[in-house]
Amino acid sequence: MYKFISGRIRGGGYAIKGAWLLLKHEPSFQVQFFIAIVVTITGIYFEITATEWMFQFFAIGLVMCAEGLNTAIEAIADFVHPDFHSKIGHIKDVAAGAVFVAAITAVIIAAFIYFPYFFDI
């Protein structure tokens, strides 16, 4: 039981380290983090509802999670095949496509939340 708990705590430590590495080294992740701060301040300013906060945090998490996984896939691709290869290009394009889908979803959620506040409708 002790081993199980200490193993889980250690795993959590590695995960936090991974999130910190993304924030420290990945420009795309840093941009998304900055946007997350901006929309959080915007949410506070407009006093959005609890449901809108939930959707907003879900959208932020979705995009940053997709970006983190995309970064990991890119790193694996570069590690297993550092040279140019059409298959590696395809893998990276598909992984980037997943981030794009998450980002479009977040933009749609943001539009639904903020249109009424910005245009007073």
Ligand X SMILES: Nc1ncnc2c1ncn2[C@@H]1O[C@H](COP(=O)(O)OP(=O)(O)OP(=O)(O)O)[C@@H](O)[C@H]1O
Which residues are at the interface with ligand X (CB under 6 A)?
28, 70, 74, 84-85, 88-89, 92-93, 96
* Nearest residue to ligand X, scored by beta-carbon proximity: 89
Question: How many Å apart are CA 86 and CA 63, to the nearest integer?
Answer: 26
The answer to the question of whether 93 is labelled as a binding residue is yes
Please list the helix, strand and coil fractions of the chain in percent, rounded to the nearest 5, in that order: 90, 0, 10
Q: Check whether 120 is labelled as a binding-site residue.
A: no
Q: Tell me how far, at minimum, the Cβ of 94 lies from ligand X, in Å.
A: 9
- Is residue 67 flagged as an active site residue? yes
Q: Which is nearer to ligand X, 13 or 97 (CB)?
A: 97
Tell me: is residue 114 an annotated ligand-binding position: no
Taking the C-alpha atoms of residue 30 and residue 73, their distance in angstroms, rounded to an integer, is: 18
Of 6 and 78, nearer to ligand X (C-beta) is 78
Q: Give DSSP secondary structure letters for 10-49.
A: HHHHHHHHHHHHHHHH-HHHHHHHHHHHHHHHHHHHHT--
Please pick, among 36, 67, 70, 99, the residue that the annotation labels catalytic.
67
- List active site positions: 67
Binding-site residue numbers for substrate are 67
